[in-house]
Amino acid sequence: MTDASGPIEPLGRPGWPALDRLAFERLTALHRRELKLHCYRMMGSLHEADDLVQDTLLSAWRARSQFDGRGSARGWLYTIATNSCLNAIKARSAARRLLKQPEQTPSDGPATGGPVIDLPWLEPYPDAELPDVVDQTPGPEARYEAREAVRLAFVAAIQLLPPRQRAALLLCDVLGWSAIETAQLLGGTTASINSALQRARTTLGARYRQGRLPQRSQPDAEEGLLLERYMHAWQADNLDGLVDLLREDAIYHMPPWREWYRGRPAIGAFLASVWGNFAGYRAVAIAANGQPAVAVYALGRDDLAWRAHSLHVIEPADGKIASLTIYVPPLAPRLFPAFGLSPEPGVT
């Protein structure tokens, strides 16, 4: 038996108040990963998502007497999680996380500004948290496929939306809730939700030629070969080979630096300016945001020590790299543990 927001769990009567903690944990464990992904989309931060899922489950336990077992436990948990995210956004200094600053134009030449660690940078999301989520069938109102809605570019785009519009778009266009259900969750009228949705869709549509992100094909052998060639280029000190993997109109970001680059010549020139900073590189294949990704360790020239250096999220298209986001120090090393990686290669 289902409702529009997911399966109805057989909670019995009188409902959750009768559940002991172990039964409650078994029930909520079914939804933990998708709630975390929802919080990540809302916040743009893996670490904030972890905290908010914990807060959501604690709030649900404390308020379990308010749930009588006749509705969808999944929907009720999403209500708590969404409102927790909205409150957290309201309480912090910045309402959105950035992949690049909106006013920052593409650079041409070496980066000179230095890392900006006090900006709220958008974080990548490990695919290890996605199984059993990306394969779910969204509700009938959904406009985005599950795999599309985890991509780094999508999460970056929805960060441009005001928090309430962001929540409405995620609930309706990603999860497939109806406007009526979303109005009940967020408060207000169905008309206000439809208005917020229209504004959100217009904002996103203005960023893309076809009104939405270009579709990604399913991962295939060609994508695997591209990732292999990319890793080999780093480890073989082959800058020309790496640049050759880029599309002519490729985009390159490198949080936490403000500078970003557009086009193969500009990206190649920048990489050439920093390529010799280390004595060598080791690459490890990972996956982030449903995309191929790489963790790179760098060998210091002075002390010849290997250290966590950067996380690379790749957007493939037609056998080339359309977009490359490389998280660099001091931000990147702090992200390694989320992907099950140690600060030094070969250390567990």
- pLDDT tens digits for 3-14? 444 433 433 344
Could you read off the pLDDT of 251-301 as tens digits, one per residue? 999 999 999 999 999 999 999 999 999 999 999 999 999 999 999 999 999
pLDDT at 75: 87
Which 3 state secondary structure label does DSSP give 301? coil
Q: Which pLDDT score is estimated for 297?
A: 97
pTM: predicted TM-score of the whole model, two decimal places: 0.89
**H helix or E strand, kind and range, residue 295:** strand 291-299
Buried b (16+ CB within 10 A) or exposed e, 180-206: ebbbebbeeeeebbeebbebbbebbee
Collapse the DSSP code of 224 into the 3-class scheme (helix H, G, I; strand E, B; otherwise coil) and give the result: helix
Q: Which residues belong to CATH 1.10.1740.10 in the chain?
A: 2-205
| Contact of 157 with 315, CB cutoff 8 Å | no
Low-confidence ranges of the chain (pLDDT < 50): 1-14
User: What CATH class does 221-339 carry?
Assistant: alpha beta
What is the total residue count of the chain? 348
CATH 3.10.450.50 segments of the chain: 221-339
d(CA 330, CA 287): 21
**What's domain 2-205's architecture?**
Orthogonal Bundle (1.10)
